[in-house]
Homo-oligomer: A and B are copies of this chain.
Amino acid sequence: MNRPSPRGKRIPPFTVLRFARYLNFLCNLPEEVREISSAEMARTIGIKATQLRQDFFTLGGFGRQGRKYDTRVLEERLREVLALQGSQHMVLVGAGNLGQALANYQDFERFNLYLRGIFDTNPKLIGLRFRGIEVMGLEHMQDFIREQGIELGIICVPHSVAQPVCDALVEAGIKGIWNFSPENVLVPEGVVVQNENLSVGIMNLSYQLSIARED
């Protein structure tokens, strides 16, 4: 593929999200679907076909109108630009409802993202297993992260303890934090954080609805 490629270049934030959606879509296709047109993919995902073709063009060699694409080649290329080819390992802190939902979420593994440890302080939760992973006491977390060399941490703890949990994760070597607590957590330089604030999601939907009403 001797085409313009985003490899090594920083992909703009919204483009990353679209690439992730394309990859997710491709991974959810039935096994027997081996090719797809950009028009069909755009319609199913709910995105403009021109936008999708433009994105495909930047992937190198994709994006011509009226052509069908090999779904596996496209999938591989997306995994490559999204840096998802190697396995990545995660720990999860907080095994309440949301933590359990994430622990039971099987889709992450399609993207080589593996949950390795679950931690909580609640004695009723410690010892429970989710998809084979036992919930351990929080006091074991830092040793576990260091021993396993884990870099991704998911925070599903209450508001009031989100920052101390985040600090403990970073101290143990975590480089990427996925934070589901309502509080934005602060991280030092060199650590990335994604605050997945649920209220922000519903506020965005509510705003889009108010705009749709005006139309």
Contact = CB atoms under 8 A, between A and B. Distances in A.
A50 interface: no
Interface string A183-215: 110110011111111111111111111111101
Interface stretch (A11-19, A31-39, A57-65, A135-143): A11-19
Contact residues of A: prevailing secondary structure = helix
Copies of this chain, whole number: 2
A44 interface: yes
Given A11-B207, A88-B206, A212-B192, A200 B100 contact: no
Contact of A14 (B13, B183, B186, B212): B13
Interface stretch (A22-30, A66-74, A118-126): A22-30
A149 B151 CA distance: 46
Interface string A108-122: 101101000000000
Interface of A: 10-11, 13-14, 16-17, 20-21, 23-25, 28, 44-46, 82-84, 88, 90, 96-98, 100-102, 104-105, 107-108, 110-111, 113, 151-152, 159, 175-178, 182-184, 186-187, 190-213, 215
